[in-house]
Amino acid sequence: MSVPAPRLVIAAPASGAGKTTVATGLMAALTRRGLAVSPHKVGPDYIDPGYHALATGRPGRNLDPWLVGEELVVPLFLHGAAGAGIAVIEGVMGLYDGAGSGEFASTAHVARLLDAPVVLVVDAARQSRSVAALVHGFASYDTRLRFGGVILNRVGSERHESLLREALAESGVPVLGAIRRSDAVAVPSRHLGLVTATEHGSGAAGAMDAAEALVSGSCDLDALVRLARTAPPLPGGPWSPDLAVRAAALTGTSTVVTGASAAPAGAPPVRSGASTAARGVPQVPEGIRIAVAGGRAFTFGYTEQAELLAAAGAEIAAFDPLTDEDLPEGSRGVVIGGGFPEVYADELSANEPLRRRIAAFGGPIAAECAGLLYLARSLDGRPMCGVVGAEAGMTGRLTLGYRDAVAVRDSVLTREGERYRGHEFHRTAVEPAPDRPLFRWRGGADGFADGRVTASYLHLHWAGHPHLAARFAAECARPEDRAAAPRAG
């Protein structure tokens, strides 16, 4: 079976060239034309997909071979693109920049897996004829790529544009757009990058409108759509959360990254066999409610996580720790993902009724990064939930990178010896560190686990480990003991 899926990858020579502006502006422009646009982002980024969702009205989805394995990239893409007329995939960093020292998990790697045309966004400021040498180098570096053309960004004037086009005409690379310098699309940033779309509020919509106007007025939309339609049909079919959870629950195994060929240079080898088996996966329960944190302080979770929990029989109920004084009625479990609680520490602390409710909650809690901070005793001196016996606070150090981790303890999610590929991205720390961490990797360890609580800095993409959803949902179906508050350590 093969599936037609018109698609484009928007890449750049390096970060900061403007590919987010071009990608989101293109998504918005094509959506305004009446196309159903499927938005995707290469890598673990959790800010850009929020703007993609705003531009298209569809969930932003990540494509990351490191987190889910190469074999799932096409099925996950087809799952997200189902029913769409075109897909736009925004790259990460420079076109050939991957995890570690190689190209694994780079934009080029994902473009090859998807057999998708690549459009290179070039920051043309402060250069003219040299742009041809730059583009020629990127276009010829890997002949396996479908290099479709270039969009020039931050062009200074008509004269500047003429010089750039003249130089590129000799290279034979089509110019699909030339965008003038503009401050209208600027999005505020802070310690971990851009402000999220949810937090930016009406300002995000204004920036999106400005990006759409720039792309519509400066790029050849018809040529870009034609280029997307040159992408060949993709083999196989879409990923199914129902089938993924069913397989995990019935067979006790999970899709994991195995084999030396999947490991970027410098990463420890992933052993096949028992160490990667998802042992002890229970039968799928039904009819349980799981509360998932959202709002301005908790903006990040991979879309597929909620889909897997729903496939495992759960009803997802959103709550906002900034404003809601109680968990959704009937909640049997709590998931608290990523975000920026450090920015909202005063408001989170002021919501004492919810903090007390979570501290007394007897059901399973799964927390990642921002969720770990919220579950701590305090965050930058403000009282938090006190579920995790540690203090959290901002530091001057950025912790960033992929992790090839081993679960060294059983928990509500994991079994000892299982391998997990994850990602860290934070400027905070917790003290004291766990005496018995949940995960270890080369050069590091992390994670609190006790009873029915797990809290870690490690972001996991559950599509690569669907047994996590089956286990968590099954644990939520067990009777709760609300008499004793859980404490993780």
Strand (E) or helix (H) holding 131:
helix 130-141
Tell whether the torsion through CA atoms of 99, 52, 207 and 425 is positive or negative: negative
Supply the CATH number for residue 199's domain: 3.40.50.300
Place 418 in a pLDDT band, splitting at 50, 70 and 90.
very high
Q: Which of 134, 467, 133 is nearest to 284 (CA)?
A: 467
193 vs 151, which has greater pLDDT?
151
For residue 99, tell me if it sits in a domain.
Answer: yes
- Across 70-84, 194-208, 474-488, the highest mean pLDDT is recorded for 70-84
Instruction: Look up 369 and say whether it is catalytic.
Output: yes
User: Of the ranges 102-111, 185-194, 294-303, 415-424, which one carries the lowest mean pLDDT score?
Assistant: 185-194
144 and 284 in a single domain? The answer is: no
Residue 164 and residue 291 in one domain: no
* Same domain membership, residue 119 and residue 88: yes
Is the pLDDT reported for residue 292 higher than 60? Answer: yes
Are 162 and 276 part of one and the same domain?
no
SS3 content of the chain, % helix, strand, coil (to 5): 35, 25, 40
Predicted confidence at residue 194, as pLDDT, reads: 47
Task: Name residue, tokens 């799964």.
Answer: 366
Specify whether 155 is located in the same domain as 170: yes
* Claim to verify: residue 20 and residue 97 sit in the same structural domain: yes
Determine contact, residues 10/108, Cβ cutoff 8 Å. no
486 in a structural domain:
no
Does 307 lie in the same domain as 212?
no
> Are residues 106 and 184 both part of a single domain?
yes
Indicate which CATH number applies to the domain containing 298. Answer: 3.40.50.880
The active-site residue out of 219, 369, 385, 476 is 369
Domain termination site, one of 204, 235, 266: 235
| Structural domains in the chain (count) | 2
Task: Examine the domain organization and report whether 208 and 251 are in the same domain.
Answer: no
Q: pLDDT digit string (tens) for 378-411?
A: 999 999 999 999 999 999 899 899 999 999 999 9
Going by pLDDT thresholds of 50, 70 and 90, the confidence category of residue 441 is very high
- Residue 300's φ and ψ, nearest 5 degrees, are -120, 130
What is the pLDDT, as a whole number, of residue 189?
43
Average pLDDT of the residues in 172-176: 94
Percentage of the chain lying above the pLDDT 90 cut:
77
224 & 249 share domain: no
Residue 13 has pLDDT above 60, yes or no: yes
Answer for the pair 146, 159: CB distance below 8 angstroms, yes or no: no
Predicted TM-score (pTM) of this structure = 0.90
Full residue range of the structural domain in which residue 53 is found: 2-235
Q: Are residues 210 and 280 in the same domain?
A: no
Q: Is pLDDT above 80 for 359?
A: yes
**pLDDT-based confidence at residue 285 (cuts at 50, 70, 90):** low
Please, which pLDDT band fits residue 255 given cuts at 50, 70 and 90? very low
Asked if 215 and 350 sit in the same domain, the reply is: no
Nearest to 10 by CA among 125, 116, 139: 116
